[in-house]
Structure 1
Amino acid sequence: MSHAAFGLIYCLAFVGLEAFQAVYLGAVFQSVDSFAVGGLVFGISVIGCTVATALFRPAELAAAIRAWRVIVLLNVIVTVTWSTYFFAIQLVEPAIAFTVFSGMVPLGTVIAGWLGLPEAASKRQRLENAGYAIILLSIIALAAITVFGFSGFVRGGWMAGFTGVALAAVSGGFTALVILFSVRLNGRGVGPLPAFGLRFILYTVLSMLAFLLGLDDKGTSVPAGEMVRIVFIGLLVIAYPLYLLQKAIPLVHASVIAAFAALGPVIVFVMQLVEGRVDYAIATLTGTALYMVGALLAIHGATRNTREPLVHAER
């Protein structure tokens, strides 16, 4: 099997696990302090990946230290990404926030290419461009649906709706930057293991600080055994999918990874359809359907653009 095929498998596994978490395990994480879960899940990831790299890939850890500026930048970008998405889902319908976020990942990659970021440069197929155009139209439609009050949920008036959509778009755009600067880090000799772990240091510190300040305190105590179970699930369905995405970076072009990220809402919709609980508002469902057409066109066009790995690919 070629490196590109492995990369596509990693991308598909990432999207599938993310969708599974969104559909079936959302309630598990809603009952506890999200900052506590995030701090523990990513704190364990940081420590585990750093120790494993030091033991088994010391040359990559040395490369990461040399590329400390990129590591610091990734930490800031990751923190903005997760923080903005967290606030977005507090303000608008989660289905809309997730769709806008997912769609902005490939669109952010396109914008980064226009701005001259070399990692974003690619020769896109016409079908891929058509898919991105439809995704953009669907995001505009979902934004209008939210701002004018036709979605299922908005915490506040039109300004809250606008802010929620804008935050989701920022989060998706910054996710594109995470992918692109991870490509740059890989080009400097830093493989998936340290690149994944080291970029969550700042987010872990801030999450634990937010937990200590009680910013997401649910008002109920969680038994230690239950918290251990939740953190273990978080490692499987939050951290591990992101690591799979990181493993795809040396194997396929960033634009392909970004296109796969846009596939998330499609898989979520299919899972909900199979389960028999598609609970979107009618207007939201219309905008999401338009989005799905664009995402499928984009992924079909992008997968024609696969290529062999850069460096430090791990199977």
Structure 2
Amino acid sequence: MVLILSAFLSSINQVFYAKWVQDIDPFVYSFLSFSITLLFFLSLTVLKSIKVKKSNIKLNNKITGMNSIVVLNIITAIIFICFYYANKYIEPAIVSAIEIGIGPIIALVLSLIIQKSNILKFDIYVCLGILIGTLILVWASLSGKSGIASDASFTYKGLLATFTAGIGMVLATIYSKKLSQAGWSTYEILAHRFYMLVPVTIVFVLNKKASYILDVFQSNWNWIILFTFLGLIIPLYLIQVGIKYCNPLFVSVTLTLGPVFTFVFQLLDPRVKWSWISLSGIGCLCVFVIIKMFIQNVGLNKEKPKGEKLKHA
């Protein structure tokens, strides 16, 4: 449920951001929003650390996990920069669907190659179904039949950014899982996740005067804080909780419900027109996600290797 709630809140934020970013520099918004997020989780971590004494074993585990923190910072910066760029030129629901939709496929491949996990044929079929839905959405964008018409060059760049963000999301899930297993709490991971993203956004806004950035915040501080908490801080926390207790493939599959919410909410944006093709692609994703979640809940456990209990990925 926490993953579904996270997808719901993120979709609301994505649509309002996609509409709003036309008037405000996306990197200025990113700088302000992620600075607030970083300060919030750092403050929470400091307060928690004062109250709780850490054991030497846990401290050693956390020192070992610093490599994962560095990698997670790099991945996070790439994800969000690509995400905000893509939303400027592609229909929000399609960005969300492709970005999250390719997640289960990447997670499946990584499970086979890196973790050498045994994967059920059922999970492969689910990923193939999600791939079909993703390809429908890619075709809708390239053919100009999505909810937003855009110049072809920007569409290609937007799609490239979307796929890059999607791959990054799976890698971020894997490294976040490693940190959780090393003893890092949810708020601690989030407190140390944005060290690279904030400076990167600063680089992109160097051409802006400090007075402009300050004016943007003063004029829109209530919306910036609201979107940051409802669309960033709370969803990120909920996702991190889900990552802690679920495997990467299940997290990726569940989050594909996000595009459905995004498609509904984006109808409030006058820039976006109704698109049956977009709806069909998103619907295809949703059907396979529901099947996956249903099978996961009832505990269907077929095709086990002899002598080994095999769970769904």
> Which of the two has higher C-alpha Rg?
2
Candidates 118, 128, 135, aligned match of 1:133:
128
Q: Does 1:115 align with 2:113?
A: yes
Cα distance in 2 for partners of 1:188, 1:223 equals: 38
Which residue number corresponds to residue 311 of structure 1?
A: none
**Match in the other structure for 1:190:** 184
Residue 40 of structure 1, CA deviation: 2.6
Distance 1:268 1:153, change over 3 A: closer
Normalising to structure 1: TM-score of the pair? 0.79
Q: Is the 8 A contact 1:124 1:305 kept in 2?
A: no
Query: For 1:20 and 1:171, how far apart are their aligned partners in 2?
Result: 19
1:104 aligned residue: 102
Deviation, structure 1 residue 221: 4.6
Counterparts in 2 of 1:28-177, with a 5 A limit?
Answer: 28=20, 30-57=22-49, 59=54, 63-117=61-115, 121=117, 123-124=119-120, 126=122, 128-157=123-152, 159-177=153-171
Cα deviation for residue 78 of structure 1 reads 0.7
**Identical-residue share of aligned pairs (%):** 21
Aligned to 1:312: none
With over 3 angstroms needed to count, the CA separation of the structure-2 counterparts of 1:29 and 1:153, relative to structure 1, is closer
Q: Give the equivalent residue in structure 2 for 1:14.
A: 6
Tell me the residue number matched to 2:201. Answer: 207
Indicate how the Cα distance of structure 1 residues 34 and 63 shifts in structure 2: closer, same or farther if over 3 A, else same. Answer: farther
Q: Distance in 1 between matches of 2:19 and 2:269?
A: 17
1:209 maps to a residue whose letter is: V
Deviation at 1:214, TM superposition (A): 3.5
Task: Give the Å deviation of 1:22.
Answer: 3.1
Length-normalised TM-score, structure 2: 0.79
Asked if structure 1 preserves the Cα contact closer than 8 Å seen for 2:27 and 2:204, the reply is: yes
Task: Give me the whole-angstrom Cα distance separating, in 2, the residues matched to 1:129 and 1:93.
Answer: 28
Query: Conserved in 2, the CA contact under 8 Å of 1:81 and 1:172?
Result: yes
Which residue identity lines up with residue 288 of structure 2 in the other structure? G
**Structure 2: stretches of 5+ with no match in the other structure:** 301-313
Q: What is the aligned partner in structure 1 of residue 280 from structure 2?
A: 286
Shift of 1:220: 11
Q: Deviations over 1:219-267 (max 9, x none)?
A: 9953615324422431232222111111222222222211111110123
Aligned pairs for 1:176-255 (under 5 A) are 176-214=170-208, 221-222=215-216, 224=218, 226-255=220-249
Q: In the aligned structure 2, how far is the partner of 1:194 from the partner of 1:42?
A: 15
SS of 2:216's partner is coil
Q: Residue 213 of structure 1: SS of its match in structure 2?
A: coil
**Alignment check: 8 A CA contact 2:136 2:277 kept:** no
| Structure 1 segments unaligned to the other structure (5+ residues) | 1-8, 307-315
Shift of 1:183: 0.4
Is contact 2:112–2:118 with CA below 8 Å preserved after alignment? no
Report the aligned-residue RMSD: 3.3
Q: 1:192 to 1:62 in 2, by over 3 A?
A: farther
The Cα of 1:115 is off from its aligned counterpart by: 2.2
Counterpart contact for 1:122–1:255, Cα < 8 Å = no
CA contact (8 A) 1:53 1:61 kept: no
User: Mapping of 1:241-280 within 5 angstroms?
Assistant: 241-270=235-264, 279-280=273-274
In the alignment of these two chains, the number of paired residues is 292
What is the CA–CA distance in structure 1 between the aligned matches of 2:147 and 2:8, rounded to whole Å? 25
